[in-house]
Amino acid sequence: MKSLSMTCVGLCLFTVITAGPPLATANDGDMPPLIEARKIWDHAPHNAFTDLIRFQDQWYCAFREGKGHVCDTGKLRVIRSEDGREWRSVGLIAREGGDVRDAKLSVTPQGKLMLSGAVRGVNPVEGKTHQSMVWLSTDGQTWGQGVPVADPNYWLWSVTWHDRRGYGIGYHCGPPRGVRLYQTANGAQWRMVADDLFPGGSYANESSLVFTDDGAGYCLLRRDGRGATGQLGVAWPPYTKWTWKDLGVKIGGPKMIRLPDGRFIAGVRLYDGKTRTSLCWVDVEKGRLDECLPLPSGGDCSYPGLVFHDGVLWVSYYSSHEGKTSIYLAKAAAEK
């Protein structure tokens, strides 16, 4: 079966957020059984902010290595596996004078593996604190110097490809807050197609985009600030006008994909009670998020990558529930 992957979301600071209202839980029959969850990488002092993809019949997982959740020497690590069990490093992306953060993976229409992220400048020049970057590879291990993309200080969070175009939402890293939609044909050249997607002054930031065959675009959006809750947006081509539904629950690190049977599923960090990484069904018509499978996780955690492959949902994520912040891979049976 063909793999489906949508790439998608860390903020510069890890904050403790008070619990929100209880999240609805899916019925037992809607809970995908957990097949396994295992640690796959813990080489750095802090290993976090993952993404996952299948490229040229291999598994690729990308994440940030650093001394802590925030430090001045963060790097992006790319590892590869044939079976999801034995992994080896095939790339380490560093940027002099910057903390490289939040790796995201996708495949361009030209058949290149694309790694995207953002560099937080250690010593910002002329107010330029963040620069989004893209690295392209034909073999999954030769990455080059990287290409600056999007506007300075707009964090291009993740990229989803639809109709041979890549789309990503960038959020402004300081005041005034705001999010923009960017588009590309090849991953290297980008243009802004819509500004101020989520008006209202709240701190909208991390996002995940899904497009359906009829052209509808859906966005799972994180917001921060007092009382801020996740949002679900929808738009039609040319994706300049979005309408939003409040999910009523605080989320972090959103990643959403659509399964072959039409259901939407997301991986997020949840804060109600115990902080954890969970899989949730997303009802795009009602604007509802239903937790269906908490993953072994806790503390500093989340930022999953999702790939549906041969009837199984593969999930990369990070967590500190076993002490050291490490990278994990889980598998769940997601077919009806």
Q: Tens of pLDDT along the chain (336 residues)? A: 333 333 232 322 222 333 344 566 665 557 779 999 999 999 999 999 999 999 999 999 999 999 999 999 999 999 999 999 999 999 999 998 899 999 999 999 999 999 999 999 988 888 899 999 999 999 999 998 899 999 999 999 999 999 999 999 999 998 889 999 999 999 999 999 999 999 877 899 999 999 999 999 999 999 998 889 999 999 999 999 999 999 999 999 999 999 999 999 999 999 998 999 999 999 999 999 999 999 999 999 999 999 999 999 999 999 999 999 999 999 999 876
CB 16 within 8 A of CB 112: no
pLDDT at 15: 28
pLDDT at 121: 93
Measured at the CA of 106, the angle between CA 316 and CA 137, to 5 degrees, comes to: 110
Token couple for 172: 């402004």
Between CA 299 and CA 61 the distance in angstroms is 21
**Per CATH, is 4-11+19-333 categorized as 2.120.10.10?**
yes
Beta strands in 30-144 (DSSP E): 34-41, 46-55, 58-66, 75-81, 88-93, 98-107, 113-125, 128-137
pTM for this prediction? 0.91
| Cα end-to-end span (Å), the chain | 15
Between CA 203 and CA 50 the distance in angstroms is 22
Between CA 51 and CA 41 the distance in angstroms is 13
> For the stretch 63-72, what's the b/e string if a residue is b when 16 or more beta carbons lie within 10 angstroms of its beta carbon?
bbbbeebbee
Between CA 310 and CA 120 the distance in angstroms is 38
- Which DSSP category does 29 fall into? G
DSSP result, 178-189: -EEEEEESSSSS
Compute φ and ψ for 29, nearest 5 degrees.
Answer: -70, -15
222 closest CA partner among 237, 232, 212: 232
- Kindly tell me the sign of the dihedral angle through the C-alpha atoms of 204, 272, 325, 67: positive
pLDDT at 336: 67
